[in-house]
Structure 1
């Protein structure tokens, strides 16, 4: 006792002299102790690569002083013997809302609300309230004892906190999970900058889509750069704050694999390597994710099995949902295998207590343990440049560590204590007596059977065996060394035996109460010591759990391996050349290196070529859909009257099943247009339907087009009376929009021309970069081409006159259902018409549409295309073209050009696509019949020499998919039968977009 008192006094004396001065006064006596501890005989896991067996760790004043085998223990140190125990660095979470104000989305109720066009935030802040770089997490942070305790229980000691509100979210603060005041917890008040694709609480109309968010972020970066250089500028506190945080480690929150790619594209434009918080589906596009070079923060959330017991319920679960359920636990292993740096986060977990359980599941699916530990300690520390404070057990770092019973990721591991900045937090008793074994039980000095205690010392499991045939699970309470056991010895008995006692040497003893109330002695004598079963082999060495294959794209009809370009000879086909040669009978076509090599008769097959017999079949160039909305996550940015700054290329969805369906209909390329929610829409994206490839592989970046619109949609005619805020509200106003924007674009282009031509350029500040006006200036320079949504003659005339007066060109009028009324004016100006074959009477604007429209424009010399504007109709554009033969007598070859060569011309791609000619892209379709016949269907659809649709392989795919689907359903049923949690099936249908669609555009914005 005297020795212990001496040690305490020595420690207290050192603390009184050595503790640093504070700026916070206290109401009471100061009692600061150095917290000098030595933890001995422990297995010390310094980091994922370094482990010290039987090591010693010294800490003092919340800092690690020494770690090693031969550490010298100073006098006055409290020694803790951890023989058989482990010490790990405490865990780090880089995506936490701990201690932050709750983000509440106060959307006014009661029907549709009046649009809010401008920010309602008071002060000299930026114009859009979803951009909040001024948010400072350190000023918002308040420690939360309960949440801190919950996180400490699962091993965390440090978290990065920030406001989870808005697109630009301000700076994050690095804090520890101490229960002391905020000044003690705060390690770094400006540790990071944060971004997302979510508007959060902003109720402004703009942005209303993910592509609008991308444009807003891009513009914000350009504005901040200009603001930092401009001398005579307006006050903008948001841009001031943005310039202060943009050099910090930047973390971008996303919710899926394509959002990762989208975020990285923004970072590349501005020279920023984001740390990206993913959505848990990175494995589905791992090569593209790796190519971003972005470190990831991975959620460890795995979906429950769907309850598919009812076949009708099973039918609504998509193949993608089924496969993701099975493969989601494999995601961390796939990321690790790809050598992508990553950290883990608890974000997204409904129950934080599932965190370590899910990590262990990921290990069972192939994640190496060292990678798991790295992802929780050293890697997150290094990502936010805090490796000199946290993340490992090295001298000079904070004393943030956990004491465990064994391997952190072991099945029965227990976290005993979590030390934060040298302060101990008890999670479970450290020295629990091990009472496991088999005991002879006596009650009232009479044999009472056997008591078996198994499990772990911390979580014992109990069984009472009576006459070796009756096995009873008693109710047991063990607190310190006091034990209470209650059980019913016989189901027919009228009561329960209750035993209360204590640990007595190697046995148990105490008093009990029989069912009749008699108080009796009882004892349990150890007869057989518990035999620890052989430890399971290291799970990192166990063969990972087997799963089905990853397919590309990750939906039904996906490919396990992507098809490759071939050298092909197609013989004896009827070839529709769309060239002066016309239709060739019994002709051959050679495809090499993705191009059409030769067209002719009796051609010899090149070395290694595959020969396809085209006898009795028709070979054409692939169909090109000039007006499509497939393969997009959203189509309208309706927040403002002009959205020229947004790009459809930012929201391409390669997983859309409509890509595959349209390949089956002979379509090889589509122009993906913005919708018609505003007068000046967004920049279009031209893609080839390369099923299974990446967004960038599909995209044709050199095609520069943009969507304009006229009519009811842009003035919000059918949006309800509440939508009477956004200009324009009349067709006259639409005309003024065009004048206003193009006049400003002319001035903008002139300012850049003057700046670039100036001999004093270095001393001048460049004009403010405006990405909306950039697009309009490209139209004026004839570098970007307009496709205009149109119906009514008067409006079409209006826009042609505006273009004439401001000297820009209309490239294509799409829909153009009254084109027959002004085809002469279109032909004179070289404006094309992309129309429907026979759509009419579906709204007032089309009441004067006629089925002869395409033919009448054709006879006036207009370049006419037939488009779909509909995911379903695009599968039969060959039949839509055939209608122009019936309605108007268009020759068959010219009718066919309306879905092949003519759209290529309108898109300025006729040098690459639209005809069967040597040197052009090998985008070809082999039809089993005349291509304008209702009986025609493609045998194969080829893009640049690669078979992306093959009818025979499609039949095989359907069979394989049915087998795989049933395998997964049976596996889910097995999970349910084992008592594992399930979820109700949720139908997931692909969205069929149309021009006017604005509702429910982006879940990511919410």
Structure 2
């Protein structure tokens, strides 16, 4: 009986699944049997590397049944002869928000509209930007219009997620077929998504990129703690979701190559190999991208041509923008040629119709067609572990495939049909009759009609005589035309016409509403030109070279270390030898020998005759090369400047030209306890990670006074503290909590062998404060007023921590004896005063007085421009206070090296120390002195000899690309006006907000300024 039942099922061509009933109830007939469709004689591109000529494809319902040649198929199958056509797998976009709810952003979330607590009800994380509990499958709504737009450019399935927040939740694989949500939702929880953007969160924290990094790190640690037993003390749905998602493919959205490197660093900390959504600039650091060994989701929204016809716009446009316009189309080809796994997303395209044009542009710029197909199909499917459903044409996969008339990457190819889940969607109807040609018309006032353009999108022009013509707006719907045009005097006319047997006829209405009949008879059909031979590979467009970094004055390659012998210079040793005349030999980035009449085989000889050789200037207080300066919370010790180093900042190069080789990048002074510092060497062209001095001592920024209580703010923020008394209480509270936290961990570590003991929750904010208590992290404190300086010193004594440096310290001359007793360093200005109330008692003798009392004193910049002249700032201490030249020079070299606990390798010219040297044209304390060569670790990063050539190179390269853009505009290429937004070079301690990577004090004023400029 069982065999008979199975026989009957097979006899009728039905499997058991044919009778499976939908889970949604429907009224009426519901026998939806899967139909067979056979596609014969096509060139089938199984994937980017496998092609079947004259291939056959059999589908059954929404699945691929068989792929091959000349096989048996059910007689009930509908057969399509696709001779001369191509079949491709349906494209897969793995970075989409198709079907997701609109993200509603409201004002708030900045320093002046403070909201410190989450307003999200429920057992969720404390910060609204952390929302890993979001599940795309639960909020997805089918969007027919959105699906149609994506189908038109070849996509059949997307991995969709809500692009909102720092931890954005999980995605879902969704089909672009017509159907209800339960029919097109293919897979839930495909991947987890992250970014550095807090999205719709109205919570004030974070206001900076470094805050976003810290918040995500803390959320990860909290999720791990909860998983390891912390859930016994609380229930948190966000952390549970984050913990569970750590087994899924994780995607990190970045805007640039620097974001990609930043995200990878976070991933390594938590064992996450992020798939990286690119900003389209991977080509700028392709070797670094390759080292990441991960999958890249690359956008195809190449920048529009810039309108540089106005000489002022041409002058103002940056070399970076010019070169990116030219080189962005090479990005996909660079990824492919470097064997980097990548996929292509349409997500950043505002106008989806540009997709194929940009794809063909990428192919023209070196992207292999097979790699392009892989990047749109099986590569994204494999990366997201959905290749068992989509991504290629194989038995058992979902029937998502494309039919084109030619190679889909050719400029003249047409996408004919897009089959999604076995549903047929016609994109271009080739059955339409050809109508291009010249027609005789019987409309009064016109002599003829000419039809050009694509068959499905014809362009019609009426001729009043042989030279005067009127363009129309025409829409074709199969064999029906809708036409409209205007005459200057009369107004608008509307026509409708039916195409039949070499004739178009119909009715029209004139501007007065009067009806008339019209017709056009074909006199001369336009014969399609024969296809040109495309077998010969076209030459790649000529583009400019990369520079490192990717800004003006970048180098064609990263400067290399070399052995150097600098001879016959006046050497400022900063050691007991004082100034001597002699030679310095540099080997392997270190000072090998200091002496006279030295020689070294293979070393490059530099003549120092009549010149002065010093060690590099060290700026103890700087804010250059940073994407973020301040966070918003009173205690922000969890944020790290090393997370936001901007290796592309032109100020690095400008300060090399001023003899600076090392800078401490400090958090600003908006918070009582600010973020952790980064100490960098100004290695122009290196990545952010390579700028940071390895294993350098740890520092953190504290602040006192008007800035933290916002005494100069345009409006008072709703944030504690608002008085100097409150500042003291913040420190007291923070360190009291840190002491208790340290004790908790000590108890745990002493007893963790006990069964069931749960580790304390790791708190990044308190970790940094415990490092201070343990002497592993040093304090640099922004300070002005004597009373507050005394307060901090006494508080440190009582709570058991040490203040390493008081920076600014403009009333240091009043408390120098107390500072010396505690071995506190001073980092001050030479002669700044009168820029706010708490500096009213500043004097220019401050540095000299503290030096003579015995306080280790440095002159710092806190200013990108001043840092270029720190040698002159040091010289002022000779004028104000009578310091010797040697004492003055040490205020910008050896003294800051001691403050930073780096004097064992920096700050003087001595055998074994780092070869960070500057060769000056004159006495370095002279206003006439110029750095001729600035050397870091034995590498010349600035050479005055090459400066003129660099200026010429920048101008030549700008002009070359500008000429290219002018030619593009003359061809009719759409253009946009260049952006005038630039990052301010003069960033100070009190810069608060960050917008588009720019730190600003007042967001509304900044936006208004930018709008006026544009």
Q: Provide the TM-score with structure 1 as the length reference.
A: 0.92
CA displacement at 1:568 relative to structure 2 = 1.1
- 1:403 alignment partner, SS class: strand
Counterpart in 2 of 1:596? 591
Distance 1:356 1:733 in 2: 61
CA displacement at 1:732 relative to structure 2 = 1.6
Q: 1:11 to 1:458 in 2, by over 3 A?
A: farther
How far does the alpha carbon of each residue in 1:212-246 deviate from its partner, in whole angstroms, 9 at most, with x for none? Answer: 11111111111111111125311212112212222
Stretches of structure 1 that go unaligned for 5 or more consecutive residues are 1-9
Counterpart in 1 of 2:405? 405
More deviation, 47-56/387-396:
47-56
Does the 8 A contact of 1:137 with 1:173 survive in 2?
A: yes
Q: Residue 74 in 1 paired to residue 64 in 2?
A: no
- 1:797 alignment partner, SS class: helix
Does the 8 A contact of 1:755 with 1:761 survive in 2?
A: no
More deviation, 983-992/782-791:
983-992
Does the 8 A contact of 1:12 with 1:33 survive in 2?
A: no
Stretches of structure 2 that go unaligned for 5 or more consecutive residues are 1-9, 1004-1014
Q: 1:478 to 1:117 in 2, by over 3 A?
A: closer
Q: Residue 227 in 1 paired to residue 226 in 2?
A: yes
Instruction: State the aligned residue count.
Output: 979
Q: 1:463 to 1:572 in 2, by over 3 A?
A: same
Q: Residue 561 in 1 paired to residue 557 in 2?
A: yes
Distance 2:481 2:796 in 1: 91
Q: 1:73 to 1:996 in 2, by over 3 A?
A: same
Counterpart in 1 of 2:381? 381
Distance 1:52 1:155 in 2: 20
How far does the alpha carbon of each residue in 1:541-571 deviate from its partner, in whole angstroms, 9 at most, with x for none? Answer: 3222111111111111010112111111111
Q: Residue 626 in 1 paired to residue 626 in 2?
A: no
Does the 8 A contact of 1:509 with 1:524 survive in 2?
A: no
Distance 1:474 1:811 in 2: 77
CA displacement at 1:323 relative to structure 2 = 1.2
Does the 8 A contact of 1:451 with 1:524 survive in 2?
A: no
Distance 1:264 1:17 in 2: 45
CA displacement at 1:346 relative to structure 2 = 1.4
- 1:810 alignment partner, SS class: coil
Distance 1:384 1:694 in 2: 29
CA displacement at 1:522 relative to structure 2 = 4.9
Q: 1:898 to 1:216 in 2, by over 3 A?
A: same
Distance 2:667 2:354 in 1: 43
Counterpart in 2 of 1:150? 149
The 5-angstrom pairing of residues 598-997 of structure 1 reads 598-604=593-599, 606-638=600-632, 640-703=633-696, 704-723=698-717, 725-758=718-751, 760=753, 763-991=756-984, 992-997=986-991
How far does the alpha carbon of each residue in 1:47-71 deviate from its partner, in whole angstroms, 9 at most, with x for none? Answer: 1011111111111121000011122
Q: 1:645 to 1:969 in 2, by over 3 A?
A: same
How far does the alpha carbon of each residue in 1:141-180 deviate from its partner, in whole angstroms, 9 at most, with x for none? Answer: 1101111111111111111111111111111111111221
How far does the alpha carbon of each residue in 1:805-863 deviate from its partner, in whole angstroms, 9 at most, with x for none? Answer: 12211111000011111111111111100000000111111111101100110011110
Counterpart in 2 of 1:573? 569
- 1:163 alignment partner, SS class: coil
CA displacement at 1:759 relative to structure 2 = 6.3
Distance 1:998 1:11 in 2: 76
Does the 8 A contact of 2:572 with 2:909 survive in 1?
A: yes
Q: 1:451 to 1:55 in 2, by over 3 A?
A: farther
How far does the alpha carbon of each residue in 1:696-754 deviate from its partner, in whole angstroms, 9 at most, with x for none? Answer: 1110142211111111111222224541x322222122112112211222222222223
- 1:160 alignment partner, SS class: strand
Counterpart in 1 of 2:250? 250
CA displacement at 1:530 relative to structure 2 = 4.3
Counterpart in 1 of 2:1011? none
The 5-angstrom pairing of residues 315-354 of structure 1 reads 315-354=315-354
Distance 1:700 1:477 in 2: 64
Distance 2:82 2:419 in 1: 14
Q: 1:451 to 1:948 in 2, by over 3 A?
A: same
More deviation, 230-239/261-270:
230-239
How far does the alpha carbon of each residue in 1:247-276 deviate from its partner, in whole angstroms, 9 at most, with x for none? Answer: 211111111111111111100100000111
Distance 1:72 1:449 in 2: 59
Does the 8 A contact of 1:264 with 1:294 survive in 2?
A: no
Q: Provide the TM-score with structure 2 as the length reference.
A: 0.91
Does the 8 A contact of 1:502 with 1:510 survive in 2?
A: yes
Q: 1:24 to 1:793 in 2, by over 3 A?
A: same
Q: 1:196 to 1:876 in 2, by over 3 A?
A: same
Q: 1:879 to 1:113 in 2, by over 3 A?
A: closer
Counterpart in 2 of 1:426? 426
CA displacement at 1:17 relative to structure 2 = 8.1
Distance 1:269 1:926 in 2: 41
Does the 8 A contact of 1:277 with 1:296 survive in 2?
A: yes
Counterpart in 1 of 2:33? 33
Counterpart in 2 of 1:359? 359
Distance 2:797 2:17 in 1: 86
Q: 1:934 to 1:525 in 2, by over 3 A?
A: closer
- 1:871 alignment partner, SS class: coil
Distance 2:463 2:819 in 1: 95
Distance 2:507 2:348 in 1: 49
Distance 1:521 1:713 in 2: 78
Does the 8 A contact of 1:12 with 1:34 survive in 2?
A: no
Distance 2:289 2:404 in 1: 35
Distance 1:936 1:126 in 2: 57
How far does the alpha carbon of each residue in 1:660-687 deviate from its partner, in whole angstroms, 9 at most, with x for none? Answer: 1100000000000000011111100000
More deviation, 708-717/993-1002:
993-1002
Q: 1:792 to 1:369 in 2, by over 3 A?
A: same
Does the 8 A contact of 1:454 with 1:530 survive in 2?
A: no
Structure 1 residue corresponding to 2:532, chosen from 508, 531, 534: 534
Does the 8 A contact of 1:579 with 1:916 survive in 2?
A: yes
CA displacement at 1:584 relative to structure 2 = 0.1
Distance 1:287 1:995 in 2: 35
Q: 1:521 to 1:694 in 2, by over 3 A?
A: closer
Distance 2:694 2:896 in 1: 17
Does the 8 A contact of 2:441 with 2:448 survive in 1?
A: no
More deviation, 28-37/758-767:
758-767
Distance 2:440 2:198 in 1: 69
The 5-angstrom pairing of residues 182-193 of structure 1 reads 182-193=181-192
Distance 1:391 1:431 in 2: 29
Q: 1:328 to 1:531 in 2, by over 3 A?
A: closer
Does the 8 A contact of 2:630 with 2:992 survive in 1?
A: yes
CA displacement at 1:959 relative to structure 2 = 0.8
The 5-angstrom pairing of residues 46-57 of structure 1 reads 46-57=46-57
- 1:875 alignment partner, SS class: helix
Distance 1:187 1:768 in 2: 38
Q: Residue 133 in 1 paired to residue 132 in 2?
A: yes
Q: 1:904 to 1:424 in 2, by over 3 A?
A: same
More deviation, 814-823/470-479:
470-479
Q: Residue 159 in 1 paired to residue 146 in 2?
A: no
Counterpart in 2 of 1:4? none
CA displacement at 1:986 relative to structure 2 = 2.0
How far does the alpha carbon of each residue in 1:24-43 deviate from its partner, in whole angstroms, 9 at most, with x for none? Answer: 11022214131210111111
